[in-house]
Each structure stands twice: as C-alpha cells, then as structure tokens.
Structure 1
Amino acid sequence: MTSPSSTQPAKRIVILGGGIAGISTAYYLSHSPSLPSGSSITIIEGTDIAAAASGKSGGFLAKDWHGAATASLSAMSYELHAELAGKYGGKEKWGYRVVDTLSITTDATRKTKKQPPLPWLPHDVHSSRSLGSTKTNAQVHPGQLTKFLADQVLFKPNTSLLIGRASSLSTSASSPPTHTIRVDTKGREEEVEADVVVIAAGPWTGGLAKDLLGEKVGLRLGVEGHRAHSVVIRTKEELSAHCLFTSMTMKDGSMGEPEVYARPDGTAYICGAGDNEPLPRTAAEVSPSSDAISKLHTQSRALSPLFDPANGAEIIAEQACFLPLATRGRPLVGKVPGIEGVYVGSGLSCWGITQGPGVGKCLAELILEGKVKSADISKLAP
C-alpha cells in the first residue's frame, strides 16, 4: 500500500524561532508519517537554539492550572512531556521528574512556633499548603529539552538551522503561493523559499509579523515581552523534589514573591523580579538588572540558609529573559487569516515550556493533515 506521505508533493517548511514552540513544531513535523517525502524543514533563529526564555525559564510543568482556552492544550502537552521523557530518557537528559508544589508564607518580622513544611526551609514559615502533587506537576530543564529536540530534527535529511533574522517576506501570486523570506545572516542576505511559514518567535513575534506581513497583520499577532529575572544556585545539601510559590515578608518589612524550583542536578532555580524593560532586538542583547538580581539573592538567602554562599552555595547563573505575552491575553496557535501557508505559535507567557510540545504537535497536524486532532485549540485561533 502506498503511504499518503509518498503521494503528496514535498513541502518546504520554514520555522521562525528556535525556542520550545518552534523546535517542537519542527520535531513533530519531522517525525510525522504524514510529512510528504522529500520535504525540507529550515529553522531560522536570530541567536541560537533556546537562547531566550526556552533556555532561561524554570521549566515548571502543570497539567491542570489553566483557563478554559488553554486547558485542553496544556493537559495534552503535559502528557507529551511524560511521553518524550519515557521515549528518550528525559530523566537523565533534561532533568524530567514529577514534583510536589507548595505555597508558603514567611514573615521574618513575626515569630512562629510552627515547624517548617520542608527541612531546608527556615522557622519563620507561617503557613503552607499544597498547590499540586506528582500526579499533576513536573519539571524539566528547558534549555536541555529544547536542544535535545532540536538534535532529533537536525540529524534528519533536508533539515537545517540558519542563524539570522528574517527581514522581509514576499508572496507569489501562484496557487498555492510561494513565500520568499530574506534573512540577514550577520550582514549577508540569503533568500529562503517556503510553501509553509511558521512564526514562533516568542516575544519577538509581534514585531517580526509587522516586518514580514504588514502593520495590520502584525497587530493581530501582537505579542510583547515582559522581562523576568532568575538565579541558579547549587546547594551544598540536596533539596527535596519540590517547587515553591512564596509570599515573603523580610526583616525590613519589604515583600517578595520568588518562585523556587529545586532541580535534580543539585541546583535550585529561583525567579521573580519582573519589570517593563523594552524588548531588545535579539536574545543576545538581553541582560539582567543588577538591582533585580541583588533582590533575588537577598530573598533566596532569607528563604533558606542553604542558598547563601557563606554556607557553601555556589551561584551558577544570574540571568533574565522576556516572557512572550499576547496582547489579547491568550496564546496564538493556528493559521494566520488571509495569508495561505502562514501559521503562528506564540504568546504562551509563563506556560511556554508546559505548552510548547503541544503547540508543536497541533501545528504539525494542522499543516500536514488540515485539522488538529490532539487538542481543542479553537479559542486560540489568530
């Protein structure tokens, strides 16, 4: 029997963005039996794979913490994370594991006789409650996962990575149309032709859409960036498999809400301290605020003495990334109206790692089969 993929014309697919959404789309396209023989996949990325939030976010996964518009996508994608980890050894390769999640309130200005819920927390935890268990919460190291999936794509024939920024897009009058993308690769221009274009450029999606598709479409695909800061600290003692959402009152009365994700590699990822710094042109130009980083260190050391270098802790990273926020308040996943062969997967906010594989699978189904079967993304249409 002849397979459908051998009878369909080959597709030239270009994906703009090397983060979790773009790489997951490339992965599920390249591994689909519906991909026509001879098809090519080109990933165009301005800096490097996982250079932005997909490499510097916390990697917390939640199955059922989502609103109606993204509930189906998130639950499906959460299961994909478990499936990928089981298939490729994610526990060893990108730190996949299920976790328990707590909400805790600390107050250094008031004494309490309560015992802390975890041995590595201080004695000023005034309250704690469970937010999720190992049945619905997990974690990954997002950069390691994204780079691993990229490797599963780029070893295949007719796949490539082009480092550069797409500067313009022109569309032929033929049916179906051919899209020609001009790419600036460090001062040298290249042209890439495509039958299918996927815009998955995280917080740069809105600006890129304006450049490539015009002001009107760009506004419709509005995605902006919000800078968030994080530190990664290696502790001398091992931490339990917990993620913490905190509300802290410091000794001087100041407040903080850092999130803490203990990782199986012996480090803790601690994030918070967002601001409205303008989005730079590329991920390579993102840098953290020294004040925000200092605040995170102060909060982390107040939260647990294990995070203090005086007690043997090692600071591994001090960093920032921009979360992609869709201006309409929910992600953009699907066909771009009025332009044949152009799709978008972006605006996933803080849930990019949870939802990334699901976005990739849904877009692969839509591109190759004409409809999405794995999740209900009807409320996410651009």
Structure 2
Amino acid sequence: MTTIIVGGGIIGLSTAFYLATSASALSASTRIIIIDSSQHLFTSASGRAAGFLNRSWFDRPSASLAELSFVLHQELAEIYGGKTRWGYRPSQAWSAGKRRRHNTDEEYRQVTEERLRKQREGAETADPTFSHHRGANSDEEKVSTEEAEPPDWIFCDEEKTFLIAGPHECAQINPYQLCEFLLEQCISKGVEVLYPYRLDSLTTKEDGSIDNAVLSDLLDQVEQTVTNVKNVVIAAGVWTGSVFKSLFPDAKYIPAISPLAGYSMTFVSPLVRFTGHKPVSDTSATFGPPAEGNSDSGIPTQQLHPGHDTNKMRDACFVRSSGSDAWLPELFSRSNGEIYIAGLNEQGFHPALGTMAPSSHFESHGLVVDEIELSPHDDSNTNNFNIMQSVAQELLGPDITVLRKSVCLRPVTPGGEPIIGEVPPSYVNGTKGVYICAGHGPWGITLSLGSGKVIAELIMDGKVRSADISQLAVA
C-alpha cells in the first residue's frame, strides 16, 4: 500500500511521521512518498513562521485538535531533545500596553544600560525558584500571574502590560529546525522525499479506489508511474486548491484556501544574549528560509549581546497599538536569543504552483542556495519592511541588529478553520482515498503534529481516536 503526500511542509512531514510510526503501518507493507514542487523545502509558511504554540486560543471546531497537538509538541520535545534541537521552551504571552516612545536614541540607551545592570544584579542575587526574569535556572518552572514580570527586552508601558497566558498553555519553538528534524526522522523511517516533483494524474480501479499515480521530476522533466497507490493526502498549504483542481478538473468541490502574506523580521537585541548565526549585512528584503545552525557571528557573543541567559522561559508580546499604525505588532523571543516580529499582513500574493523564481542568495548551514522571491511588488515589500523595522526600533530600541526579513504565506479558509479529512468520493468522480489537510492559517505550527496524527489514524484505521475533528471535515 502506497500513500502519496503532496506537500513537504510541516503538515505533510507530520502526516508522514505519524504514518511511519503507527502500529498499523509497522505491521503492514506500507510505502510513503512525500512530493513537493519547490526546489528548496520549508520556503513558505513552515520555515518562516514565528513558532509560537498555544493550546487554548481556539474556537470549538479546532479546540480538541489544538489540545492534542500541544501535548504532542511537549512529548516530541521530551523524547527527542527538542530543547536543543529545535529550541522548544515553555512560554508566556503578554498583552503589552501602548509602546513608550523615547525622544532620542540616547534615552533608549540609558534605559537599556539600566536594564542590563538589573539583569546582572538579578542573576547574582535572585532566588532561582522565584521568577524566570530574575535568574531562574530551569525553563520548566511555573510562574504564577502574581510573580511574573513583563519581559525586559521590550519597551512598553509596564503598568498597562499584563499576562494573558502562562507556560502551561504556551510554548515557543524554531519551526524551521522542527521541520528539519521531522524530515530526518521521516527519511530514517523509510519515507521517500521527492522534490521538485509534481503529482500529475491518478488512475482508479472500477470501484473508485486509486490504482496508479504519475509523477513528474520538474528538474529533469521525466515522468514516473507509482503503482499500488491507495491514498493521496493533499497538504500543499496555499497551493492545495491548485493541486486539487489539477487532479480533479471536473470536481464538484474545490477547497477554498487562499494565501495571506505575513511580513516578519528577526532581530538581535542588546538586552538578550544571542547564540545564533551571523547577522545579515545589508538591509534588502530576503525571502529564503532561516539560516539556522551557524553559530559563528564573527563578533564575540558576550561583547555584542551581553543580555540575559537564553536558558529561560520565552515570552510572546501582543502589542495593543494605536494612532497611525494599521497593524498590531506581535513579538516572540526564541531560545537562541532571536526576537521575531510579525503582525503586518497583506493580501495579493498568488504564486503559481511550482513557479517560484530564484532571486539572490542566502546562507543555510554553510551552503549557498537560491532564495525564493514571493512577490514582484518590490516597492511594496520595501515599504512594509521599512515600516516594520521602524516599529521594531520603537519597541526594542535603536541598537537592534537585523538578522532576517521574510514573507510567510499562510493558507487561510473563509471560516478560519483548517480542512482535515477524506474528500467524499461523490465530489471527485467517485475516487476514494483522497484526503485534504490544509488551511491552518496562522496556527499551522501549533496544529501540525495533531493534524498529522489524526490523518494518519484516518488512513490506517479508518477513524480518528485522538481528537474530535468532526467540524473540520471536507464540506
């Protein structure tokens, strides 16, 4: 039995991972193939997302899936060393008051120096069982609402900043690194990963079950036929509708999934000790995946970023902005000291399937590979990034260093809920064994593991046991 998964992002990888590790798959002759039309994996939402996890900020249709997925993230991190491998940390979420603007850069620097002094003093004298902001030794500590203090790397009105979620319901990861881990695990378990490839067509038997699939190697322009195919999972993010329509042009149903472009920037702050890769040297927008894994910044870490220890709980800040801003900044601190800012969104990105054009270059694990340019609207990109950087300097101070600029394409549905389940055969000319797992919007990383697990259960056992996804079914 062969299962083909269209989409090599975090949803497709999670599906393959749980398929490959399920008891039913281990006891059966199972072949799993992931195909992706991009030359480089994780160049869209999976590699560029913030990586903030939450278990409870969901409406009823997704609530059970979110709970399952959050627990799976915890379990995976515990079993496979996620703290080290993909930066898993419990997190706290804050509603941050209107940002406090200082009149001059010097005023920012004076406040920064005072905060650094308090950090040093706190690390020497604080009781480690009290608050993670005062020298806690463990990121597993539970901080009560009364004890918690707003993060000291953001300039905001502390009197109007309050905790909205604690570490029991929030966590932070680096999604690109989690994708790399899942990819390694899938390959080690025999999953075939083919890219850039495209699923061109399916043939069916008389009873409607899938028989064969024709794949195209997009580099060599060579076709191959895969036999004994039983299931096809379309987990292609914003391209899910295009893939579906190309396979079933006469279908009575097309999944309504559209792209929402989210701009983001990643910074280093003097208030947070940085242990990651080398900062970029220019200010042009880059559209490749994060350059993770290179710890040589070219500058002594302690000299450049003397801030607090990165072995602490993470913080997410949702800023209540006002005035001329048309967006609400969201900031997330990561385990390596990066600060990721997002919240500026734009409609209008409609990249064709498999046609992302190479641009300049970026470094990833020491290798120079092509960047991906997602939009021809360079003026719009430049303006949006300039706006974002200006706001970041107000929130983080003028001495921040830009590491990365990126656009993340989130697959969104009209109702805001993902589509997860088998496509009724009547929708696709009687074809059986076609599944959709897409449309997760801004919560793709949080819901990824749970989504993969329930699809794996549905394929292998014919029903879902781990969560209630009845309201997410293909309509």
TM-score by length of 1: 0.88
Q: 1:67 to 1:186 in 2, by over 3 A?
A: same
Alignment map for 1:172-321 (pairs within 5 Å): 172-175=204-207, 176-186=209-219, 188-193=221-226, 194-214=229-249, 216-217=251-252, 219=254, 221-238=255-272, 241-249=314-322, 253-254=324-325, 256-281=327-352, 282=354, 284-287=372-375, 289-305=381-397, 308=398, 311=399, 313-321=400-408
Shift of 1:328: 4.2
Alignment map for 1:76-95 (pairs within 5 Å): 76-95=68-87
Q: 1:182 to 1:19 in 2, by over 3 A?
A: same
Q: Is the 8 A contact 2:46 2:175 kept in 1?
A: yes
Shift of 1:269: 0.8
Structure number with bigger Rg: 2
Shift of 1:108: 4.8
1:160 to 178, 182, 192: 192
Paired position in structure 2 for 1:326: 413
Total equivalences in the alignment: 360
Quick check: 1:118 aligned with 2:151? yes
Alignment partners' CA distance in 2, 1:190 and 1:126: 63
Letter in 2 for 1:122: F
Alignment partners' CA distance in 1, 2:445 and 2:403: 21
Shift of 1:172: 2.1
Alignment partners' CA distance in 1, 2:263 and 2:325: 18
Letter in 1 for 2:93: T
Quick check: 1:340 aligned with 2:373? no
Q: Is the 8 A contact 1:63 1:74 kept in 2?
A: yes
Shift of 1:124: 4.3
Quick check: 1:18 aligned with 2:8? yes
Paired position in structure 2 for 1:34: 24
SS of 1:106 mapped into structure 2: coil
The farther-off stretch of 278-287 and 230-239 is 278-287
Where do 5+ consecutive residues of structure 2 fail to align?
A: 104-114, 116-148, 273-307, 357-371, 426-430
Alignment partners' CA distance in 2, 1:191 and 1:328: 38
Alignment partners' CA distance in 2, 1:258 and 1:329: 20
Instruction: State the superposition RMSD in angstroms.
Output: 2.3
Q: Is the 8 A contact 2:53 2:172 kept in 1?
A: yes
Alignment partners' CA distance in 2, 1:62 and 1:169: 38
Q: Is the 8 A contact 1:49 1:146 kept in 2?
A: no
Q: Is the 8 A contact 1:203 1:322 kept in 2?
A: yes
Letter in 1 for 2:374: V
The farther-off stretch of 279-288 and 351-360 is 279-288
Shift of 1:255: 5.0
Letter in 2 for 1:359: S
Paired position in structure 1 for 2:460: 368
Paired position in structure 2 for 1:74: 66
- Identity within the alignment, %: 31
Q: 1:217 to 1:86 in 2, by over 3 A?
A: farther
Q: 1:192 to 1:298 in 2, by over 3 A?
A: farther
The farther-off stretch of 254-263 and 203-212 is 254-263
Shift of 1:69: 0.2
SS of 2:321 mapped into structure 1: strand
Q: Is the 8 A contact 1:77 1:356 kept in 2?
A: yes
SS of 2:320 mapped into structure 1: strand
Alignment partners' CA distance in 1, 2:256 and 2:222: 26
TM-score by length of 2: 0.71
Letter in 2 for 1:15: I
Shift of 1:361: 0.3
Alignment partners' CA distance in 2, 1:371 and 1:20: 22
Where do 5+ consecutive residues of structure 1 fail to align?
A: 1-10
SS of 1:178 mapped into structure 2: strand
Quick check: 1:62 aligned with 2:54? yes
Q: Is the 8 A contact 1:107 1:125 kept in 2?
A: no
The farther-off stretch of 190-199 and 367-376 is 190-199
Shift of 1:350: 0.6
Q: 1:333 to 1:245 in 2, by over 3 A?
A: same
Shift of 1:211: 0.8
Q: Is the 8 A contact 2:349 2:374 kept in 1?
A: no
Alignment partners' CA distance in 2, 1:269 and 1:248: 17
Q: 1:365 to 1:182 in 2, by over 3 A?
A: same
Q: Is the 8 A contact 1:107 1:126 kept in 2?
A: no
Quick check: 1:146 aligned with 2:179? yes
